[in-house]
Amino acid sequence: MRVKTGLDRLEKLFPARLEGCRAGLVAHQASVDCRLRHAAEICLASKKFRLAALFGPQHGFTGHTQDNMIEWRSFRDPRTGLPVFSLYGETRKPTPEMLDGLDALVIDMQDVGAKYYTFIWTMALCMEAAVEAGKAVVVLDRQNPLGGSVEGPVTRPQWASFVGLRPLPVRHGMTIGEIAHYLKSEFYPDVDLTVIPMAGYRRDMYFDETGLPWVMPSPNMPTLDTAIVYPGMCLLEGTNISEGRGTTRPFEIFGAPFVDPHRLVARLNDFRLPGAFFRPASFLPTFQKHAGKQCGGAQIHVTSRRAFKPFKTAVAILKAIRELWPDELKWNNPPYEYECEKLPVDILAGTDRLRIDIDSGESLDVMERWWRAECAGFERRWGSRFRLYG
């Protein structure tokens, strides 16, 4: 069975009230249908609306910026002649000038199921701009590659940032269309929103169970294996520990020049983390942290993805390194993702409690209890209200 995404159903389910409108498409390189045709190609051929502009998020409309937090500039697409507006540069929110002459924004971006992945916040800012400019928003829903499991702290308002503008658990368990409904209900009630749902999708599906082709949604998200560990391992971006950028297995490989791989793996095994096996590893990043320096560390091998807890695993890694090399592990200073005051690890976690607990030597079980309680509270209040799928 093959899942049909919102893009696959666009022509059939495009809202009748918007037929004939001029639309802008917000997309990236993974915005493809089941036959690997890009959303721009499909929208250009649409008989329901006229495509008049293109917009791209972090890493670019074509996914051309390799490293993290690299801005890109707007340009004109040489093939179609359409303007391509950057939403990760001088602005992250569409300006009135960008929206001038448009009636609607069509949003089609593949998320990876973690609140730090900035595409959902690009969507949020598009919804905000649409309200202000009186434009409609059509979201083409796509699968959550990690299914519906939820894990990690819920972002607190005082720690809001571009890696978490609104309250969401770190691993949020929602599709991008469900998040759009949540944002409308709680923050943008006046947005004229349509979500074109998927067909054949079940909440417990991982991406490789949908029958759809994987296209990496960002340069350091090459495989589903990467996405599975990402909701935890992205925390390392807030430290001096390499998260494996500059290797061929980003977020699965991690370490630093001061780490002894065998000591680290022995300590990690003491945690008895579900669904995970650690293999001692050495690597030489070609860019980003510790580029050109040999790092010791490990590679995570997920032995049971349904048992695996990515956030708990990453916290265990940070605890182990703090215990073994207490003077070497450092929390990075800002700026990070347009935040110039708060520590990167705090905005990634959505709270400073995680960092404080790691530094104080709090037990992993105690930490997991408080973020599990936060997830349960979020699910009771919001999560189940916006489910489009069983």
Same structural domain for residues 196 and 230? no
Query: Average pLDDT per run of 10 along the chain, which is 390 residues long?
Result: 93 97 98 97 97 96 84 92 96 98 98 97 98 98 96 97 97 97 97 98 95 96 98 98 97 98 97 97 96 98 98 98 98 96 98 98 98 94 84
Q: Is residue 3 part of a domain?
A: no
Distance in angstroms (rounded) separating the CA atoms of residues 317 and 328: 14
Residue 145 resides in a domain: yes
Q: What is the model's pLDDT at position 65?
A: 85
SS (H, E, C) 312-364: HHHHHHHHHHHHHCCCCCCECCCCECCECCCCHHHHHHCCCHHHHHHHHCCCH
> Does the residue 377 lie in any domain?
no
Residues 158 and 26 in one domain: yes
Query: Is 1 domain-assigned?
Result: no
The answer to the question of residue 272 being in a domain is yes
Which residues are bridge partners to 39 per DSSP? Answer: none
CATH number (domain holding residue 271): 3.90.1150.140
The CATH number of residue 177's host domain is 3.40.50.12170
Buried b (16+ CB within 10 A) or exposed e, 201-222: bebebbbeebebebebbbbbbb
Same domain (yes/no): 269, 173: no
Number of residues written out for the chain: 390
Helix (H), strand (E) at residue 254: strand 253-256
Specify whether 178 is located in the same domain as 73: yes
Q: Are residues 196 and 264 in the same domain?
A: no
Same domain, 189 and 240: no
Question: Given this model, what pLDDT does residue 334 score?
Answer: 97
Residues 68 and 59: beta-carbon distance below 8 Å: no
Looking at the fold, whether 234 and 206 belong to one and the same domain comes out as no
**Could you give phi then psi for residue 86, rounded to 5 degrees?**
-85, 130
Q: Are residues 186 and 321 in the same domain?
A: no
Classify residue 136: in a domain, yes or no. yes
CA atoms within 13 A on the CB side of 180: 29
Determine, yes or no, domain membership for 74: yes
Please give the single-letter amino acid code of residue 48. Answer: K
Q: Is residue 96 located within the same domain as residue 230?
A: no
Distance CA 71, CA 63 (A): 12
Q: What is the largest CA-CA distance in the chain?
A: 64
Count of C-beta atoms within a 10 Å radius of residue 47: 9
Between CA 91 and CA 94 the distance in angstroms is 7
SS3 (DSSP) at 205: coil
| Model pLDDT, residue 64 | 85
Shared domain for 123 and 143, answered yes or no, is yes
> Are the C-beta atoms of residues 106 and 180 closer than 8 Å to each other?
no
Domain of residue 234: give its range. 224-371
Number of structural domains (the chain) is 2
Residues 234 and 197 grouped into a single domain = no
Question: What's the pTM value of the predicted model, to 2 decimals?
Answer: 0.96
Which tokens hold the place of 268? 């990690």
Q: Is residue 48 in a domain?
A: yes
* 270 and 195 in a common domain: no
pLDDT of residue 1: 60
Question: What pLDDT does residue 381 have?
Answer: 86
